[in-house]
Amino acid sequence: MNPTTIVKYRFPTITLLASALCLGLLWPAPVRARQGHQHERIPNVMEYLDRLDRPERDRDQKPSEVIEALGVKPGMSVADLGAGSGYFTRRFVEAVTDTGKVYAIDVEPEALKYVEESLVHMHRPYQAEFILARPDNPKIPFESVDLIFVCNTYHHLEDRPVYFRNSKSALRPGGRIAIVDFYHDDRSGELGFPKRHLVPRDRVVQEMTEAGYTLLREHGFLPKQYFLEFIPQ
Ligand SMILES: C[S@@+](CC[C@H](N)C(=O)[O-])C[C@H]1O[C@@H](n2cnc3c(N)ncnc32)[C@H](O)[C@@H]1O
C-alpha cells in the first residue's frame, strides 16, 4: 500500500479475513511500540488491532456520542492520529461522507493496511488518505483538516508540546484538536497495561497550553477517559 493513497469509490479486493491472515504471515514478529510504550512489546499485532475493535468497547467508548459531541459533519476533513484499527476512522468516514475526507495516521504500516481494508469493506464511497507518520511528526498536509482527533494515543507521544506546536499548521482556520485518553487513576479501571504511561488530564491541558492551544471545551460523558477539545491560541 502506498502510505498516502487517496481512495475513492473503491470496493473490496480481498476479504478482511484474508487480510488478517496476510498480516499474520507478514508480521509474525512482536512489534515494538515506538513512543511512550517503547520498552513494551505487543506480542500479537492482529490480536491488538482486533482488541481495539471489540464490540464491547462501545459501551464505555461511546463512539457515536463522541462523533456527535465533536459536531463532525459532511464535508469536514478529519485526521485520526494514531488510528490503530480504524475504530474511529470508520465512524469519521460515515460522518464526513464522501464530500469530506479522513486521514488515517499511524506509525505502524500494518495498522494503516488494516484500516484501509476495513474502510473498503464498508462498501461506501469515501475519501481517505493513509499517512505513515514519523514518531515526531504526523505529516498532515498544511491547513488540510478541521479536526485532529487523538484517542488513546496522546500518552504514546513524546515531546508533546513541540509535537503539537508543530502540528498547528495542519489545521484549517477554526480547526481543533480533540484528545481522548484514559484517566491515570481508578476511574479507568483495569486496562491491561501499566498506568504509569498515562498522562493526567491536567498535564494534558498544561502541555497543550505550552504548545500554544486553549482548552475550548471538555466533555464529561466518558466514564474511563477525559475528552478535551483545544483550539490554537
Ligand atoms: C492504543 S492505540 C489507539 C488506536 C485508536 N486511536 C483507537 O482509539 O482505537 C494507539 C495507536 O497509536 C499509534 N501510535 C503510537 N505512536 C504514534 C505516533 N508517534 N504517531 C502516530 N501514531 C502513533 C500506535 O501504533 C497505535 O496504533
Domain extents in the chain: 16-232
> How close is the Cα of 153 to the center of ligand 1, in Å?
5
What is the predicted pLDDT for the residue at 43?
Answer: 65
Of residues 146, 162, 52, the one with CA closest to residue 108: 52
61 lines ligand 1 (CB under 6 A): no
What is the pLDDT averaged over residues 194-216? 97
What is the predicted pLDDT for the residue at 12?
Answer: 33
Distance from C-alpha of 55 to C-alpha of 40, rounded to nearest angstrom: 25
Q: What is the pTM of this model?
A: 0.86
> How close is the Cα of 84 to the center of ligand 1, in Å?
5
Distance from C-alpha of 80 to C-alpha of 149, rounded to nearest angstrom: 5
Contact 78, 149 (CB under 8 A): yes
107 lines ligand 1 (CB under 6 A): yes
**Mean pLDDT of all residues belonging to the chain:** 86
For 15, how many CA atoms within 13 A lie in the half-sphere containing its CB?
3
- Indicate the fold that domain 16-232 takes in CATH: Rossmann fold (3.40.50)
What is the pLDDT averaged over residues 204-227? 98
Tens of pLDDT, residue by residue over 11-24, are 333 333 333 332 33
Tens of pLDDT, residue by residue over 129-139, are 999 999 999 99
What is the predicted pLDDT for the residue at 45?
Answer: 82
